[in-house]
Amino acid sequence: MIIVTGAAGFIGSNLVKALNEQGETNIRIVEDFEDGRKMFNLADCRIRDYADRDETLRRMRAGEDVIGTARAVLHQGACSTTTEWNGRYMMETNFEFSQRLLGQCLAKGTPFIYASSASVYGAGQEFRVHPDCEHPINMYAFSKLAFDNYVRQYLPDPPSQVVGLRYFNVYGPREQHKGSMASVVWHFHQQLLQGDELRLFEGSDGYADGEQRRDFVYVDDIVKLNLWFLERPGISGIFNAGTGRSQTFNEVARAVIAWHGHGKIRYVPFPDELRGSYQSFTEADLTELRAAGYSAAFVDVEEGVRRYLDAL
């Protein structure tokens, strides 16, 4: 059995679907279904078993075994709301749960592949997997870095495989439930379904209007990366999961406009509440990933947006 946490979420549901396409249906999902609408992400997937997220944490706190004889754990579950400042909730969800699950995997020799985040780099200009580059600027990033640092005590030779993947700006199908945290591609698409105008932020941090740059990575590439590590249990470490090439929000907007065949861009004032906690530039350094042997190319924004909107 493979355990997938956060399985009804964006990346988790894409992983479950990809596993199904490989013929794997012996899957236990761990999920918080308080918002039951997330089930639509799994409506076309096959699973074997289900466990509630809060009940799973309670059982781990009581010292119970929650992974059994699982072949691997793909840990995608987290609170990914970058504007959430309830630190106690964030650390329980993103740190304690992960820490306890990792402990069981290490004790049993079960591969553990988990979602980290490029948010740990904060407003820096270097995106190497190194403490010198890590400067979280919100509670979400802090919680993710705290767990990465906990994992580091076991690297480079943990008792069993441990892989952390620092996701950059992922976009693609099955993210519609994320609301304000969905990708700009999703939001731009919705804006053109409802009108003829895309709203982008005015310049910030020295960047011109809409010229802030992010490493936008299509979800299919993230899924391939997870499954590549799953097939190579001898490789452990923390790795960037991005394309290695930043592109502007203007480029994303133009790709969405090209697909729709209409639309114009309007720049809106940069929100005061995001000043000091917004990444105006990200670009994955893929040195460690390439050194580990991953050689596949990543699609660019133009191709990824086309695939995404075709799928929608």
| 154, 178, 224, 294: the active-site residue | 178
Select from 86, 96, 76 the least CA-distant residue to 18: 76
Residue 278 a catalytic site member: no
Select from 234, 222, 229 the least CA-distant residue to 294: 229
Amino acid of residue 216: F
3-state secondary structure of 74: strand
Task: Please name the residue that has the structure tokens 């553990």.
Answer: 112
283: which DSSP letter?
-
- Residues 240, 174 contacting (CB under 8 angstroms): no
Residue 144 a catalytic site member: no
Q: Residue 91 — φ and ψ, nearest 5°?
A: -70, -35
- Residues 305, 185 contacting (CB under 8 angstroms): yes
| 114, 121, 140, 308: the active-site residue | 140
- Residues 50, 31 contacting (CB under 8 angstroms): yes
As a whole number of angstroms, the distance between CA 146 and CA 143 comes to 5
H-only helix segments in 33-78: 53-61
Please identify every residue annotated as catalytic.
140, 178
